[in-house]
Amino acid sequence: MEKIMPAKDRLLKSGKNGLGNEMRGKVLVILCAVIMISVTISITIFLGTKGLQSFIKNGVSPIEFITSTKWNPTNKANPEYGAFPFIFGSFAVTFLSALVAAPLGIGAAIFMTEIAPSWGKKILQPVIELLVGIPSVVYGFIGLSVLVPFIRENIGGLGFSLLAGTIVLSIMILPTITSIATDAMSSLPKSLREGSYALGATRWQTIRKVLIPAGLPTLLTAVILGMARAFGEALAVQMVIGNVRDLPSSFLDASATLTTIITLNMGHTTYGSVENNTLWSMGLILLIMSFVFIILIRYFSSRRKMQ
Amino acid sequence: MSTITTARTVFDIKDLNLWYGNHHALKKIHFPINKKEVTAIIGPSGCGKSTFIKTLNLMINYVPNVKMTGEINYNGQNILNEKLDLVELRKNVGMVFQKGNPFPQSIYDNVAYGPRIHGTKRKTHLDEIVTKSLMDVALWDEVKDRLHTPALGLSGGQQQRLCIARALATKPDVLLMDEPTSALDPISTLKIEELILNLKEKYTIVIVTHNMQQASRVSDKTAFFLMGELIELDDTSTIFSNPADERTEGYISGRFG
Ligand SMILES: Nc1ncnc2c1ncn2[C@@H]1O[C@H](COP(=O)(O)OP(=O)(O)OP(=O)(O)O)[C@@H](O)[C@H]1O
Ligand SMILES: [Mg+2]
C-alpha cells in the first residue's frame, strides 16, 4: 500500500498533475474544434466558388437558373439551364412531408409523454429507434417495390411521383420529429401540468392550452430538423420520384429534386463543364438552405430560452 | 379536540386513511374545516401535510398506487365517491403550490386560463375577472400596464401572487396552499401573509407551513400532524400557548421536527 502523504503534499502533487492534464486536454479539445471549423469553412468556400462558376465563368444567367422551367443542358445548339422544377420539387417534397410527419410525430410524442407514458414509451421508443437506424437505400427500395406499384394500381399515374417521394420522406423524417418532440414534451416541468389540473382543466385542455404552447419552440425545432433532413435526402427520393425535368402539375406526376438531379448527373458530366458547374450551383442552393434551417432553429431555441 | 361539525363546516374529513403502496401515509384523520377560516397545517417533514392537502382537491389522484378509505365531505358530498365531477371540485377548491408555477404565457392569459376552460368567452367578462383577481392579490397596480407581457418576467413573489390570482379567477370558495412562501424572500412572504388575512373574508384557506410564526400570524385554527396522524387541531392561540398534547408542545417549542 502507498504511504499516506500529509494533506498539503497531496494537494500540491495532485495540483501539478492536474495542471499538466489540464493543458493537454485543452490543446486536444482546441485542436478538434479547429479541425471542425476549418473543414466547415473549406466546404463552404469550395462550394461557394464552384457553385458560382456557372454564373461567372459560363455565363449562365442566375435568374434563368432559378426561375426558368426549361432544363436542357445537353442540347448542343441551345442549352438551357432552368433549375426551377428541381428547386420546386425539393421544396414541395420537403413541405409536404413535413405537413404529413409533423402532426404524426408530435401526436406520437404527446401520446408517449401524456397519454400512455408507461407502455406507450415502451412500444414506440424502440420503433422510432429502429426507423432511425434503417438506411435510406432500404426506404427507397421498399418505396420502389411496394409504394410505387401501389400508387400506380390504386391511385393512378406511373407510380413514380411527388406523392411517392412525399410518403417515403414523411416516414424517414418521422423519427427525427417524434424523438425531438418527445424530448420537448417530457422536459416540460411537472408544475405546469399540476397548475392546469388544479384549475379544473381536463387532460386534453392541459395538453392543448398549456403543454403544446409551452413546448412550441422545441416542437418547431423538431419540424425544422425534419425538414432539413427531407431537403437533403437524395437516394430514397431518387428511387421513387421519377426524376423528370418537367414541373409536376399534380401529386401523381413524376418530378425531381435538387439532390436527385445532382446524384443522377454528377457521374456522367465532366468536371468543369457547364452542366457539371450547374450541379454545383444546385449544391450551393442546398448549402444555403441548410444555413436557413440552422438560422430558424437558432431563432426558435433562443425563444425557448427566453421563456 | 374540537371536532364538532356545524353548518360552518366546508370540509368534513372522517376517518381518512391513505396509503402510498404499502406506506400508510395518513392514519384515521378526522378533520373539520370551517368556512372563512384560515387553517394552518404544521408538522415535521414527511408527516403527511402535502399528502393531506392534496386529497382535498384530489390532486392526489395523479400519484400512482394511492389507496384511500374514509370520507372527505365537501359541502356535504363525499368527494371520494366515484361519481364526483372533478372539474367542478377543482373550480371550487383552488390550489397554490410551493413554487409559483405560472404558465409560459402572458399575465392576462394566466389569470384568464381558468375562466376560459370553464367556458367564459366574452372579452369584457374575462377582462373583468382578470382585473378583479389581480386586484384581490394586490398585483394590479404592479402589472396593469403589462398584462400582455410574459408572466415569467415577474419576480418570484409576483409570480406566486399571480398564481393565487389565477386560482381566484375560477371563483373558488376554498384555497389550498402548500408552503406558498417557502421559496420567497421575507418581504414577498409578508405580502402573501397580508393577502391571506384579506382573502379570509371571502375564502376558506388551508395553508401548509413550516414557519411557526407564519402559522400563528395568519391562521385561526392550527392542525399538528405527526407521522401521518392528526395529533391536535384547535384554535391557533390554544395550540401555541397551551397545547393539549405534549408532542405538539415539543414540536412548537422546537424540541423536534
Ligand atoms: N408519491 C409518493 N409515493 C410514495 N410515498 C410518498 C409519495 N409522496 C409522499 N410520500 C411519503 O408520504 C409521507 C408524507 O409525505 P408528504 O409529502 O405528505 O410530507 P410533508 O409533510 O408534506 O413533508 P414536507 O414538509 O417535507 O413537505 C412521506 O413519508 C413521504 O415519503
Ligand atoms: Mg410537503
pLDDT in tens, B56-65: 999 999 999 9
B50 lines ligand 1 (CB under 6 A): yes
Q: Which ligand is nearest to the CA of B226?
A: 1
The ligand 1 atom nearest the CA atom of B52: 18
A192 touches chain B (CB under 8 A): yes
Contact call for B113 and A199, based on CB within 8 A: yes
pLDDT in tens, chain B (257 residues): 444 556 689 999 999 999 999 999 999 999 999 999 999 999 999 999 999 999 999 999 999 999 999 999 999 899 998 788 999 999 999 999 999 999 999 999 999 999 999 999 999 999 999 999 999 999 999 999 999 999 999 999 999 999 999 999 999 999 999 999 998 899 989 999 999 999 999 999 999 999 999 999 999 999 999 999 999 999 999 999 999 999 999 998 876 54
Nearest Cα of chain A lies from the Cα of B91 at a distance, in angstroms, of 5
- A230 C-alpha to center of ligand 1: Å? 49
Can you give the pLDDT at residue A14? 57
Q: Domain tally for chain B?
A: 1
* pLDDT recorded at residue A2: 53
- Residue B137, domain member (yes or no): yes
Q: What is the pLDDT of residues A3-21, one digit of tens each?
A: 566 666 666 665 556 677 8
Counted residue by residue, chain B has a size of 257
Which of A189, A200, A214 minimises the CB distance to B114? Answer: A200
Please report which residue ranges of chain A form alpha helices under DSSP H.
7-56, 62-67, 84-110, 117-133, 136-142, 148-154, 162-186, 190-198, 203-206, 212-232, 235-241, 258-265, 274-306
Asked whether residue A73 carries a pLDDT value surpassing 70, the answer given is: yes
Give me the CATH number covering residue B111. 3.40.50.300
Q: What is the pLDDT of residue A303?
A: 77
> Ligand 1 mean position to A183 CA, how many Å?
28
Q: Which residues of B touch A205 (CB under 8 A)?
A: 117
Q: What count of Cα atoms within 13 Å lies in the side-chain half-sphere of residue A39?
A: 6
A283 near A47, Cβ under 8 Å?
yes
For residue range A270-294, list pLDDT tens digits in order: 888 999 999 999 999 999 999 999 9
Residue B174 C-alpha cell reads as 376554498
pLDDT over threshold 90, residue A228: yes
**ipTM associated with this complex:** 0.92
Ligand 1 atom closest to residue B43's alpha carbon, by position in its atom list: 21
What sign results for the dihedral spanned by CA atoms A184, A190, A192, A198? positive
Residues from chain B contacting residue A214 (CB–CB below 8 Å): 103-104
Cross-chain Cβ contact A200/B88 below 8 Å: yes
Domain boundaries, chain A: 80-306
- In this prediction, residue A9 carries a pLDDT of 66
* A121/chain B closest Cα distance in angstroms: 17
pLDDT of residue B257: 47
Q: Which CATH class is domain A80-306?
A: mainly alpha
Judged by CB atoms closer than 8 Å, whether chains meet at B94 and A205 is answered as no
What gap in Å lies between CA A264 and CA A257, rounded to an integer?
A: 11
Q: Tell me the C-alpha distance between A197 and B180, whole Å.
A: 18
Range of the domain at B134: 9-252
Q: Share the mean pLDDT of chain A.
A: 90
Tell me whether residue B2 is in a domain: no
